[in-house]
């Protein structure tokens, strides 16, 4: 690159940064775990230069699926679910289909291309696998998909919930079967930018597995995202978008709890500490950057990346109206004794010293992160490898570095 081109690039970045508020994480976010080299077994890394920046001392970051179509009215991938047999199911929202990536030889590397195993779905948004079946949710309700003849295709569709309780400003943001064998679904607030006096808050609902016995587990959310039960305490943790101007949140779910939206979001971020509308609300356990849009969460329990064992992995889908991008990352929230410590480690994209150092927003603007694609879901394989899907149609895999 010529000096003139480099100077122009620096000037452009400076002008962009001056046009709006910074979207950096809320300080402080220390990273207390030293990064030591990790070496794993398996074939050499499949190196692709355009994947997001990552710490090559720790991992290969590879492309599992690159299926980015022309822009469509609905997102391509709405979510994914990893079945017990190693099959990775991908929810194609715009096509109304579920497609499967299978690992026939058991080497941990799925064979391509994916095959369609369910179709005719009406804009499905989120997906989970349970007891040999798939369960999907979208604007029209919740549907169970079954493979009744064992041919690998889910031809039987059973409507469990014909409509979620009210129309919302968002599609369902989370779907999971809990340890109590109930089906949990998060529904967002009834608006994008909300008048505190009129807005319907988002809620966490649960149902029996047949769709009956609806319960409201908690309320006061903006756009509830991923759900995860702590492996030791059994407590339910939920990530939430927070609001257009308020920080995103990690919340410990208290049955019947009110988490403040719209009148008191983000741990009083937009209200006085003693505001009457905040009385009786549950404060978040951890604040995340404004508009970082946490979309999925899972506790990491494997040994492959021991430095994140016991931590909560969270996918940050990314901002929609900030000049400097926020989110667009996979992060690890440090947990100790069943609770978050407040420390956050950016897993991907990462430019940790001594290799180089850039802010997350700087990485995105430079085109070296997920941006402009939106990470939407994650899964952890039996080997401890981490899969990340983007809404636009890609699936990436992080696995320990393999020496050549």
Give 33-100 as a DSSP string: S--------SSPP---TTSPP--TTTEEEEEEEE---S--SS-SEEEEEE-TTSPEEEEETTTTEEEE
Backbone phi and psi for residue 135, each to the nearest 5 degrees, phi listed first: -125, 130
Which helix (H) or strand (E) segment is 396 a member of? strand 394-400
Which helix (H) or strand (E) segment is 398 a member of? strand 394-400
Looking up tokens 């929609």, which residue turns up? 320
Cβ 175 vs Cβ 185: under 8 Å: yes
Please report, for residues 57, 210, 294, 309, the alpha-carbon distance to residue 84 in angstroms, rounded to integers and kept in the order given: 30, 22, 26, 21
pTM of the model: 0.84
Separation of alpha carbons 260 and 283, rounded Å: 8
Kindly state the tokens that stand for 385: 């490898």
Burial class of residue 190 in the structure, from the number of CB atoms within 10 Å of its CB (0-12 exposed, 13-18 middle, 19+ buried): middle
Cβ contacts of 318 within 8 Å, gap of 6 or more: 291, 292, 293, 325, 326, 327, 328, 370, 371, 374, 375
Provide the pLDDT for residue 331. Answer: 94
Please report, for residues 85, 88, 110, 128, 375, the alpha-carbon distance to residue 103 in angstroms, rounded to integers and kept in the order given: 8, 8, 4, 19, 23
Q: Which 3 state secondary structure label does DSSP give 301?
A: coil
Q: Where are the domains of the chain?
A: 40-71+291-404
- The predicted-structure confidence for 24-59, as pLDDT tens digits, reads as follows 444 444 444 455 666 667 777 787 888 898 888 888
Cβ 135 vs Cβ 127: under 8 Å: yes
Helices (H) and strands (E) in the chain, counts: 2, 25
Cβ 176 vs Cβ 137: under 8 Å: no
Ranges of the chain whose pLDDT falls below 70: 1-40, 70-74, 165-169, 195-198, 267-273, 351-357, 403-404
Instruction: Give the residue among 185, 80, 76, 96 at the shortest CA–CA distance from 141.
Output: 185
Provide the pLDDT for residue 7. Answer: 38
Separation of alpha carbons 151 and 216, rounded Å: 37
Provide the pLDDT for residue 245. Answer: 84
Q: Which 3 state secondary structure label does DSSP give 18?
A: helix
Cβ 312 vs Cβ 228: under 8 Å: yes
Provide the pLDDT for residue 175. Answer: 92
Distance of CA 7 to the CA centre of its chain: 36
């Amino acid at each position: 690159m010529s000096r003139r081109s480099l100077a122009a690039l620096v000037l452009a970045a400076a002008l962009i940064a001056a046009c709006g508020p910074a979207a950096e994480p809320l300080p402080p976010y220390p990273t207390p775990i030293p990064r030591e080299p990790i070496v794993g077994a398996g074939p050499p890394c499949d190196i692709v230069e355009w994947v997001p920046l990552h710490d090559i001392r720790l991992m290969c970051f590879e492309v599992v699926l690159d299926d980015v179509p022309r822009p469509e009215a609905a997102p391509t991938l709405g979510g994914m679910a990893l079945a017990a047999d190693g099959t990775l199911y991908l929810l194609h929202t715009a096509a109304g289909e579920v497609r499967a990536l299978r690992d026939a030889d058991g080497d941990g590397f799925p064979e391509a291309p994916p095959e369609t195993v369910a179709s005719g779905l009406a804009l499905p948004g989120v997906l989970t696998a349970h007891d040999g079946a798939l369960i999907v949710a979208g604007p029209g309700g919740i549907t169970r998909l079954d493979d009744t003849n064992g041919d690998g295709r889910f031809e039987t569709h059973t409507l469990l919930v014909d409509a979620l309780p009210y129309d919302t400003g968002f599609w369902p943001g989370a779907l999971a079967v809990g340890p109590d064998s109930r089906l949990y679904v998060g529904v967002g607030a009834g608006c994008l930018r909300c008048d505190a006096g009129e807005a319907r808050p988002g809620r966490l609902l649960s149902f029996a597995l047949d769709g009956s016995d609806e319960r409201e587990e908690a309320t006061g959310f903006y756009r509830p995202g991923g759900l995860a039960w702590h492996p030791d305490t059994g407590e339910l943790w939920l990530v939430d978008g927070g609001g257009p101007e308020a920080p995103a949140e990690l919340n410990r779910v208290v049955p019947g709890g009110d988490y403040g939206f719209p009148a008191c979001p983000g741990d009083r971020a937009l209200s006085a500490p003693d505001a009457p509308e905040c009385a009786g609300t549950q404060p978040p356990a951890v604040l995340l950057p404004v508009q970082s849009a946490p979309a999925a969460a899972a506790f990491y329990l494997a040994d492959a990346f021991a430095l994140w064992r016991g931590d909560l992995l969270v996918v940050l889908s990314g901002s929609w109206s900030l000049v400097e991008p926020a989110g667009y990352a996979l992060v690890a929230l440090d947990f100790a004794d069943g609770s978050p410590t407040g420390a956050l480690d950016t897993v991907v994209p990462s430019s940790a010293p001594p290799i180089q150092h850039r802010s997350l927003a700087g990485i995105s603007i430079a085109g070296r992160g997920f941006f402009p694609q939106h990470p939407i879901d994650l899964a952890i394989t039996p080997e401890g490898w981490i899969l990340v899907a983007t809404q636009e149609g890609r699936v990436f895999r992080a696995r320990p570095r393999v020496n050549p």
